[in-house]
């Protein structure tokens, strides 16, 4: 069985939880807390979530596969459980989606991880960096919002179906208020897309109590 070491507030853990629920498969979520933090450190030397573990033997002594990269874990789930398909089958289209995710990784997800990790800081220099990164995240979302604004019939990001791109973006959009990122008027079409997807069964099932509180 798939086991996911997941932080209840981590947007990257949230991404993988969405994908697991989209596949409607059996899996176990291990919420990383003080009691399980030591286990996480043994699995991931970077001490970050999420961590995906597959094929644990009956005696729970051998872990055959441990994935500590969110993108690799996401693609692995999609290939191991191919229905519904969340990556294109055709190689060129698959490569294009990977390039888009890579671009978002640099321009959006890396700033989000730093912001998420340091939200509670009292250090003035780090607070200044957080403000800068909020602008970086906002600029990255401007580009995505423009795609929706220019194509009113767009239901998903760069596809006609729900894909890994959607699962990657939605946790960030869910946390905008929590991260104190102002929603711009030019994001109207993007936020309409987001609100529609927030009601998706796999998204609703993926939410932890801590994540639900982010939108109250």
Classify residue 188: in a domain, yes or no.
yes
My answer on whether 97 and 200 are in the same domain is yes
Q: What pLDDT is attached to residue 107?
A: 96
Maximum separation of any 2 CA atoms in the chain, in Å? 55
Whether 167 is covered by a domain: the verdict is yes
Examine residue 85 and state whether it is found in any structural domain, yes or no: no
Please tell me whether residues 95 and 202 are part of one structural domain: yes
d(CA 199, CA 94) in angstroms, rounded, equals 27
Give the pLDDT score at 142: 98
Instruction: Pick the more confident residue, 40 or 180.
Output: 180
Going by their DSSP bridges, the two strands 2-6 and 27-31 should be labelled as parallel
Query: Is there a single domain that holds both residue 50 and residue 119?
Result: no
The string of DSSP codes covering 89-138 is SSHHHHHHHHHHHHHHIIIIIHHHHHHHHTTT---HHHHHHHHHHHHHHH
pLDDT score of 58 more than 70: no
pTM for the model stands at: 0.93
Residue 175: CA count within 13 A, CB half-sphere:
25
Q: Which domain holds residue 61?
A: 2-80
Across 177-197, average pLDDT: 97
- Does 183 lie in the same domain as 116? yes
Residue that terminates a domain, selected from 16, 46, 80: 80
Residue 138 CA: distances (Å) to CA of 145, 166, 211? 10, 17, 21
Long-range (24+ apart) CB contacts under 8 A made by 86-92 are: 86/19, 86/22, 86/162, 86/163, 86/164, 86/167, 87/163, 87/164, 88/159, 88/163
The residue from 43, 58, 80 where one domain ends is 80
Residue 173: pLDDT over 60: yes
**pLDDT tens digits, residue range 126-147?**
999 999 999 999 999 999 999 9
CATH number of the structural domain spanning residue 197: 1.20.1050.10
Residue 162 and residue 61 share a domain: no
Residue 216 lies in a domain: no
Do 38 and 124 lie in one domain? The reply is no
Total structural domains in the chain? 2
Cα angle, residue 22 at apex, residues 21 and 26 outer, rounded to 5°: 45
Secondary structure element (H or E) that encloses residue 182, with its range: none
């Amino acid at each position: 069985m798939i086991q996911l070491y997941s932080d209840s507030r981590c947007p990257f853990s949230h991404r993988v939880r969405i994908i697991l629920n989209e596949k409607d498969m059996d899996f176990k979520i291990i919420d990383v807390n003080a009691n399980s933090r030591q286990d996480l450190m043994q699995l991931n030397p970077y001490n970050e979530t999420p961590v995906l573990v597959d094929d644990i033997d009956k005696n729970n002594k051998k872990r055959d596969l441990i994935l500590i990269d969110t993108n690799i874990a996401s693609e692995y789930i999609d290939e191991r459980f191919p229905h519904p398909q969340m990556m294109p089958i055709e190689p060129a289209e698959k490569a294009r989606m990977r390039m888009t995710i890579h671009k978002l990784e640099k321009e959006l997800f890396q700033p989000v991880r730093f912001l998420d990790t340091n939200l509670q800081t009292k250090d003035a220099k780090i607070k200044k960096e957080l403000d800068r990164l909020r602008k970086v995240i906002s600029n990255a979302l401007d580009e995505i919002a423009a795609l929706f604004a220019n194509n009113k019939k767009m239901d998903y990001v760069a596809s006609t179906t729900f894909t890994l791109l959607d699962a990657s973006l939605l946790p960030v959009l869910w946390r905008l208020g929590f991260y104190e990122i102002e929603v711009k008027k030019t994001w109207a079409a993007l936020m309409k897309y987001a609100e529609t997807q927030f009601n998706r069964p796999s998204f609703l099932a993926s939410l932890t109590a801590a994540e639900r509180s982010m939108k109250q």
